[in-house]
Amino acid sequence: QALVDVYPKEKGFQSPANAPPLYLCDCTKFTDSDLRCLTGMSSLESLSLIGCTGLEILPDMSPMQRLRILDLRLCTGLHGPGALLGLTRLVSLEILLLPDCIMPESLPDLSVLLGLKWLGLDGCTSSKDLARLNQQLPKGCLITGQDLKRL
Q: Measuring CA to CA, which residue among 76, 29, 36 is closest to residue 56?
A: 76
Q: Looking at residue 8, what is its pLDDT?
A: 35
Q: Output the pLDDT for position 111.
A: 85
Helix (H, G, I), strand (E, B) or coil at 38: helix
How does pLDDT run along the chain (151 residues), one tens digit per residue?
333 333 333 444 444 455 566 766 657 777 788 777 777 778 888 888 888 888 888 888 888 888 999 998 888 888 777 888 888 889 899 999 987 656 666 678 888 899 999 988 876 655 555 677 778 888 888 888 766 554 4
